[in-house]
Amino acid sequence: MNITVIGAGNMGSAFVKQLTLAGHQVTVTARDVAKADTVAAAHPGAKAVSPELAANQAEVVIIATAYDDAVNALRSIGDLQGKVVIDITNPLTSDFMGLTIGHETSAAEEIVKAVPGVDVVKAFNTVFAQVLAEGGDFGDGRKVTVFIAGDSEQSKDKARAVAESMGFVTVDAGGLKNARYLEPLAGLNIYLGYGAGFGTHIAPTWMRDA
């Protein structure tokens, strides 16, 4: 697919790495174009562009910024009609140990309110950047789960294809409102990784005896 990654930080660069390895056509953009250039240069096949050109050819847009920057980032890249936006953000407090919104809404739903008509799928928000950068295979048949929530089955199918192309397994988490559950799950994962000392090579999954 043609995929645009917004953000050149740890998550953005990890996406660019894994997406190019998976054979996608990858464009990366950021407020600091020099950072986007650096990320693209490190991953042959990727290219960096200024924000206003970033959405032109994209089928899928991955918003790999902080939640507080997501709306402005999406507004900066042009027409998003017909494109699937994968929202990986979590509405974290400044110390990363809590959420700023929840129960009756989610980061994903707030983005949709702020950018009307955007087709948002929640995914990858429970995956640490360190895990994404190294790939979704933990060995011994264990693969990291990407939970996918959205209101369009076709859009979730695209997000699923992106995740599975990079070696992850996926779980359909229902409609976009279920991002209200996925974001607290990410909060727990962050606490376990940093607060409880588990480290960042961890990921939540779901098991069933069947």
- When pLDDT is averaged across residues 154-176 and rounded to a whole number, the result is 97
Dihedral, CA atoms, 161, 167, 124, 75, nearest 10 degrees? Answer: -50
- When pLDDT is averaged across residues 34-62 and rounded to a whole number, the result is 94
The CATH superfamily of 1-193 is NAD(P)-binding Rossmann-like Domain (3.40.50.720)
For residue 124, the SS3 value is coil
Tens-place pLDDT, residues 61-79: 999 999 999 999 999 998 8
Identify any residues that bridge with 200 across adjacent strands, giving them in sequence order. none
Tens-place pLDDT, residues 27-36: 999 999 999 9
The pLDDT value given to residue 96:
87
Cβ atoms of residues 87 and 106 within 8 Å: no
Q: Is pLDDT above 90 for 208?
A: no
Neighbours of 90 (CB within 10 A): 25
The pLDDT value given to residue 78:
87
The pLDDT value given to residue 210:
75
* Among 92, 97, 26, residue whose Cα is nearest residue 65: 92
For residue 89, the SS3 value is coil
The pLDDT value given to residue 57:
87
Identify any residues that bridge with 1 across adjacent strands, giving them in sequence order. none
